[in-house]
């Protein structure tokens, strides 16, 4: 039987908003979520906005997640926030392995693995980002890179049930650039990720959602997010504009 997976569209707000902007956007996004009951909608604000965003979305179908976590539960880790603390706040998701964390903050595959495990330990759903750089794609290494990132993140991990982990395929060269892979290129990588998930997680691998991310817009969502094995989107820039984000959610709901 073919697994049914609920679509998910998540907005990665990065370090963009102040408190007032975040409150207004949280309310607008919750309204978008309420109009799309067939799609799970989530927003991922910076740490300092989480309490306010949780308050503004409380009682709505809009889920909230963090953009990062530390893998230890407590200790001398100046400037870090533990998965334990995030879980206690009532968050559902946490990003792990985003390319900005990997490239700008030096996160290795091992760090990502520890973060995925910590998120799971505390009942948070990690959104595990994988994807190739432009030179890796040009060198024909896309599928190999994605496979390595997935295998490293899953090493030693108890196979997650389908709803306990989300994978996001985000080609590094497509993030914030306005460039996207072609639909056949997206489809090829998503099919390959699905195969690897079946190997790593058994039957649950069929139920893990795989999102596409990287310059998703209101204009390309209809062609990219509706491809086979694309269960939704991880949206950066366009998640800051309720009109654009609503169109992306609607494209996935259609
Ligand atoms: P973008 O960002 O939609 O602005 O390209 C996506 C992401 O970084 O998750």
In this predicted model, what pLDDT tens digit does every residue of 59-74 receive, in sequence order?
Answer: 999 999 999 999 999 9
Nearest to 253 by CA among 58, 42, 37: 37
Q: Specify the residue with its C-alpha closest to ligand 1, atom 7.
A: 236
Q: What is the pLDDT of residue 3?
A: 66
Q: pLDDT tens, 179-198? A: 999 999 999 999 999 999 99
Closest atom of ligand 1 relative to the 12 alpha carbon:
9
Residue nearest to atom 6 of ligand 1 (CA): 236
Tens of pLDDT, residues 130-183: 999 999 999 999 999 999 999 999 998 887 788 899 999 999 999 999 999 999
Q: Please tell me which residue in 100, 107, 164, 170 is annotated as part of the active site.
A: 170
Nearest atom within ligand 1 for CA of residue 168: 9
Q: Give 2's pLDDT tier (boundaries 50, 70, 90).
A: low
Assess whether 170 carries a catalytic annotation.
Answer: yes
Query: Average pLDDT over the chain, rounded to whole?
Result: 96
pLDDT above 90 covers a percentage of the chain that reads 93
Catalytic member of 70, 71, 98, 190:
98
Q: Which residues contact 114 (CB under 8 A, 6 or more apart)?
A: 71
What is the 3 state secondary structure string of the chain? Answer: CCCCCCCEEEEECCCCCCHHHHHHHHHHHHHHHHCCCCCEEEEECCHHHHHHHHHHHCCCCEEEEECCCECCCCCCCCCCCEHHHHHHHCCCEEEECCHHHHHHCCCCHHHHHHHHHHHHHCCCEEEEEECCCHHHHHCCCHHHHHHHHHHHHHCCCCCCCHHHCEEEECCHHHCCCCCCCCHHHHHHHHHHHHHHHHHHHHHHHHCCEEEEECCCCCCCHHHHCCCCCCCEEEECHHHHCHHHHHHHHHHHHC
Give the pLDDT confidence score for residue 172 in this predicted structure.
97
Work out which ligand 1 atom sits closest to the CA atom of 99: 8
Ligand 1 midpoint to CA 74 (Å): 30
Q: β-pairing, 8-12 with 93-96?
A: unpaired
pLDDT at 220: 98
- Contact residues for 130 (Cβ-Cβ < 8 A; gap 6+): 97, 145, 146, 149, 150, 153, 167, 168, 169, 170, 193
**Distant-in-sequence, close-in-space partners of 8: CB < 8 Å, separation ≥ 6:** 39, 40, 41, 42, 166, 209, 211, 231, 232
Under 8 Å between Cβ of 124 and 92: yes
Tell me which residue has its CA closest to atom 1 in ligand 1: 236
Ligand 1 site residues, Cβ closer than 6 angstroms: 12, 170, 175-176, 213-216, 234-238
Which of the listed residues 12, 13, 239 should we mutate to test ligand 1's pocket, taking the one with most ligand atoms within 8 A of CB?
12
Based on the residue annotation, tell me whether 48 is a catalytic residue of this protein.
Answer: no
CB 93 within 8 A of CB 127: yes
Centre of ligand 1 from the C-alpha of residue 87, in Å: 24
**Which atom of ligand 1 lies nearest, measured to the CA of 177?**
5
Mean pLDDT for 202-217 is 95
Q: Is the pLDDT of residue 97 over 60?
A: yes
> Cα(183) to centroid of ligand 1, in Å?
17
For 39, list phi and psi in degrees, rounded to 5: -120, 135
Read off the pLDDT of each residue in 5-26 and give the average, rounded to a whole number.
98
């Amino acid at each position: 039987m073919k697994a049914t997976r609920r679509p998910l569209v998540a907005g990665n707000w990065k370090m963009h908003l102040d408190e007032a902007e975040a409150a207004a956007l949280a309310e607008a996004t919750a309204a978008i979520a309420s109009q799309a009951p067939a799609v799970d909608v989530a927003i991922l604000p910076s740490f300092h906005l989480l309490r306010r965003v949780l308050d503004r979305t409380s009682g709505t179908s809009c889920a909230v997640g963090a953009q990062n976590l530390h893998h230890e539960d407590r200790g001398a880790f100046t400037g870090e926030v533990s998965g334990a603390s995030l879980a206690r706040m009532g968050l559902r998701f946490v990003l792990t392995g985003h390319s900005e964390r990997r490239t700008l903050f030096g996160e290795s595959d091992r760090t990502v693995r520890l973060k995925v495990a910590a998120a799971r330990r505390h009942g948070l759903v990690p959104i595990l980002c994988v994807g190739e750089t432009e030179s890796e794609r040009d060198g024909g290494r896309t599928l190999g890179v994605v496979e390595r990132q997935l295998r490293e993140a899953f090493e030693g991990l108890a196979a997650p049930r389908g709803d306990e982990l989300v994978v996001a395929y985000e080609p590094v060269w497509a993030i914030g650039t306005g460039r996207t892979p072609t639909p056949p290129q997206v489809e090829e990588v998503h099919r390959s990720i699905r195969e690897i998930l079946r190997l790593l997680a058994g039957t649950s691998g069929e139920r893990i959602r795989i999102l596409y991310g990287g310059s998703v817009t209101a204009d390309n969502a209809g062609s990219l997010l509706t491809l086979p094995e694309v269960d939704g989107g991880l949206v950066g820039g366009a998640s800051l504009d309720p009109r654009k984000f609503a169109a992306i959610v609607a494209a996935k709901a259609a």
